[in-house]
Amino acid sequence: MTLEILTPDKKVYEGEASSVTLPGTMGFFEILNHHAPIISTLEDGKLTVRGNGKEEVFFIHGGVVEASNNKVVVLAEGISQK
């Protein structure tokens, strides 16, 4: 699936991913390839991207995520990378 992580001032990540784990308002959840369409609010916490045998971790400060047609877009209010 294609993943984009955006903040108000820049694009932080763009690429292919096999899964992404997100800090949802009701707890952590994971989006995999061909996930059903979803829109969710996000809390402050760890966002983990997995793909191509690698794992990248970002710490987001709130936001929203939308997954549709094997594309995931994360709009974060703020972000830092570990």
Mean pLDDT of 70-81: 94
Share of the chain above pLDDT 90, in %: 95
Determine the structural domain holding residue 74 and report its residue range: 2-81
Single out the residue of 1, 33, 29, 31 nearest to residue 14, CA to CA. 1
User: How does pLDDT run across 29-67, given as a tens digit for each residue?
Assistant: 999 999 999 999 999 999 999 998 999 999 999 999 999
Number of structural domains in the chain: 1
Q: At residue 62, what are phi and psi to the nearest 5 degrees?
A: 70, 170
CATH number, domain containing residue 26: 2.60.15.10
Q: What Cα–Cα distance (Å) separates residue 35 from each residue in 11, 38, 77? A: 23, 8, 24
pLDDT of residue 82: 65
Structural element, H or E, at residue 48: strand 45-51
Hey, what are 78's tokens? 């703020």
